[in-house]
Structure 1
């Protein structure tokens, strides 16, 4: 936005629903038909330093905030096999314990 820029946001009179706005994801406000929101540049601009360029920095910031392309570290295979061998029951023992529960063939 240029330094003298001014935006006016107004929901259409024919709109079926009200518009919702929020600032930095905080509390939500409702704009109904006939309401207007005016957006201008500040007289006190905030200087910023870009690592690459504005667009790349913006997407990098989103990716970090939303955890895009981040995978939870999975356990190693030997850790998984240790977990399966830690049980005192084997499959045969478990199957044998349930033999009495099965109905007899008639």
Structure 2
């Protein structure tokens, strides 16, 4: 019984880390990549001469980060709406679809 509790607690902890800290960190990475691509932080004070990442690639990384965050929010809203309608969400066909509860 205690092992079942520990397994459930571990699952909750992993989901909390991914959604609770992971999505905001991903959003922050997207904001930072757009800021650096726009010229913020472009002055090299260290003098190390490290190669810079092209601004097009930084913008693509930012768009990808924002797309993942928006997709996660939309999936969460879909699950909330489905539950409110007395249904559940199925991911059998890649896209989330509403299915009647069994």
More helix by share: 2
* TMscore range, shorter length: under 0.3
TM-score by length of 2: 0.24
Structure index of larger Rg? 1
